[in-house]
Amino acid sequence: MSWFNRLRIVLLTGAFVAAATVLIVARDAASGIDAVRERGDLVVAIRQGPSSYYLSNFGPDGFEYELAEGFARELGVRLTVLPVATSREALDALASGTADLAVGQALQPELEKQDFALSLPVQSITQMVVCNKPGKGQSAVAGFADAIARHTLFITAGSHHARQLEGLQAANPALTWEAIDSTSEENLLGLVHEEKAGCAVIDANEWEFHRHLFPDLVAAAELPGPTYFGWIQARRSDRSLSKAANAYLARRQANGGITALRDQHFAHLQSLTSIDSKHFYQAIRARLPRYTDAFRREALRNGIDWRLLAAVAYQESMWDPAAQSPTGVQGLMQLTLDTALQLGIDDRTDPLASIRGGARYLRQILDTLPESIPEADRTWMALAAYNAGIAHVLDARALTRKRGGNPDNWTEVRANLALLKQPEWYSQTRYGYARGATQAIIYVRHVRRYYDLLVLASNSSNNRMMLAMSNLGGSTAN
């Protein structure tokens, strides 16, 4: 029986009014804290993407995911994620009662007229107009007015960008745009890269994640005025959930929790220049294919994501097996002589042996760190230890604890690791002065960026030739 005929029978039997009343009551109840706690889960609509929510080798991750998980934990319930592709899907999920909250959404005032409740702002994000770099004899786009005079803008259908552009059109008569159905930010940028689209409009944080995949694109202009992002709830009679959400966000803003979370997820994105990224992708094509099988094999043996192992190797040697530093470390993974001997590696210049030793060494560090450290903090601390030595990382953890911080949180440990070059702090530790403390912090930031790029590349639909040459295809961890 079709949905229409079933509804027709309900209407004919006079049961529709009762059914609708039950549905409305259920939705009103579902919007309150008591109902959420009774169910035992908070259902949150989150747009999928590297800046908000994604599945990493460490499990569910992303800035918006972690912020929402903290709220669910405060309520004493589990977080249930409803992945959505666009803001329109998120609003539909709220309107239908499928989701309790939509997070990471543009807080546009007109939504209040559509019976949605808006939270306090969580982030202020600029909207970028991304175009191809000018070719020979061409002039660069000079700001928003020039961009819209020369190009049609392309956006993802169902995104908040349509409302923003509609608001700008009256003051900018030359503004035209086209909405592309069922596409991601990466695919949108791919269309621009392939010159199938003029320029794309994309959130600045998404551009930061994707810009190194497209070294020939440039952020040519910004949409006038920032956009505030936060949480949205369908306005119901029970406002307890939205009030609790606002109180939670206000506390996280006041105690620096949101700033720290933003730093954790986004600070490392600024670590590479466009020149760095070009060299990186040239190395993916020219050098990585020789070692991909070895990275996969040794990573699998040691329970490590092979892309992380490859990222460490690139930071260490740019995948050059003949690399040697002034301090005497050698090879693809830049092992010291003592470390190589301890790992049973006789020839550090043998790239396969070096990868084998580097994987074992990283595994040893991971196993040495206390079990209380969760992922991904555990991996970031292990990377710092790979560079500066496990002793200094343990000292930084001890100093973090002594100063009232969380020794299992990399962001807090990182701040205290930086102090190990100052006498008043390193004098309080077991192993003392850490000459390479600052270098280790930068090291982790760079490895994280290379790792992000390898993960994005391995799932990319816009770098097929590069992926085929490098045997990167597939998103399996090992």
Catalytic residues: 316
Distance set, CA 115 to CA 94, 111, 237, 477 (Å): 10, 7, 11, 43
User: How far apart, in whole angstroms, are the C-alpha atoms of residue 218 and residue 215?
Assistant: 8
Structure letter (DSSP) for residue 152: -
CB 419 within 8 Å of CB 413: no
CB 171 within 8 Å of CB 110: no
Burial profile 325-357: b = 16 or more Cβ within 10 angstroms, e = fewer: eeeebbbbbbbeeebbeebebeebeebbbbbbb
59-61/54-56 β-pairing: antiparallel
- The candidate with the shortest Cα–Cα distance to 317, out of 458, 410, 468, 446, is 446
Runs of H (alpha helix) within 369-473: 377-388, 390-402, 410-417, 423-426, 437-458, 464-470
Map tokens 């009551």 to a residue.
25
The continuous run of DSSP H or E covering 125 comes out as strand 123-125
User: How far apart, in whole angstroms, are the C-alpha atoms of residue 146 and residue 167?
Assistant: 18
- The candidate with the shortest Cα–Cα distance to 477, out of 351, 343, 335, 309, is 309
Reported for 109-114, long-range contacts at CB under 8 A and 24+ positions apart, including other chains, are 110/163, 111/232
Count CA atoms within 13 Å of residue 337 on its CB side. 3
Structure letter (DSSP) for residue 74: H
Structure letter (DSSP) for residue 357: H
Distance set, CA 246 to CA 98, 119, 254 (Å): 21, 6, 12
- Backbone dihedral region for residue 284 (phi beyond 0: left; psi -120 to 50: alpha; all else: beta): alpha
- Backbone dihedral region for residue 115 (phi beyond 0: left; psi -120 to 50: alpha; all else: beta): left
